[in-house]
Amino acid sequence: MTVAIEAARIGKRFGPHVVLDELSLTIRSSEIACLIGPSGCGKSTLLRVLSGLERVHTGHVRIDDREVTGPSRAVGFMFQEPRLLPWLTVRDNILLGLPPADRRDADARVATLLAKVSLEGCERALPRQLSGGMAQRVALARALATEPGVLLLDEPFSAVDALTRMSLQELVLSIWQRTRITIVLVTHDLDEAIYLGDRVFVLPAGPPALTEVLAVGVPRPRDRRDPELARQRVALMEALHVAGVAPGGWPR
């Protein structure tokens, strides 16, 4: 299997505080990889480095064998919050990051994207008219607007209720099944990591290097009630314990 993302010896500090220290990882093409670890361990910073949004760091990142030097249309990014501009319609929020040359047939493009996220007919709605789950779907459609080969998700479901969260998880899986896009998901949710991920990368409480990589190995489609997923969850909890994370997510 080919490599979609290669990060080598990534280091990042904010003043005297070391966030990432000589961290290396590879993500395979069409893989769903999950990053998990305690708050403040550098997961979101690592995602920003992979995307090119964070440019001041040591080491290097290659995506599809090209050096990452800044943001690229080949990489879609979805933040924790929808970050929709309140004065723009759903249509215009989705098109916001596209250059004029890519806005030909804009209405058809938006309609296709809204169909992918099950929001058909919402083009003219304003963000204030959307539920939290709907707003996240619009943010996902915006991240997919450039037809990226890699999609980076920074805890995008953390602010919605449990049922909406499961619905959004299924939505991401359905998009992955149609496109086989490479996905990297930052999450605090062990069940989410095990249910969605092909591999789970465990980051420790201190400045990471990776502690462990857990291969889930359960074929899709997965059943949330599958005892094997429960066993994988126990293995992930043990890996987090080794990484210095006590029950409840706090460093020991």
Reported as a single tens digit per residue, the pLDDT across 130-140 is: 999 999 999 99
Reported as a single tens digit per residue, the pLDDT across 151-197 is: 999 999 888 899 999 999 999 999 999 999 999 999 999 999 999 99
Residue 98: predicted pLDDT: 81
Question: Is the N-terminal amide bond of 221 cis, ω within 30° of 0?
Answer: yes
Residue 1: predicted pLDDT: 63
Reported as a single tens digit per residue, the pLDDT across 200-248 is: 999 887 665 666 789 999 999 999 999 999 999 999 988 887 656 655 5
Mean pLDDT of the chain: 90
Q: Which domains does the chain have, with CATH numbers?
A: 3-81+148-242 (3.40.50.300)
Reported as a single tens digit per residue, the pLDDT across 47-90 is: 999 999 999 899 999 999 999 999 999 999 999 899 999 999 99
Q: Given a cut of 80, is residue 250 above it in pLDDT?
A: no
Residue 244: predicted pLDDT: 61
User: What is the value of pTM for the model shown?
Assistant: 0.92
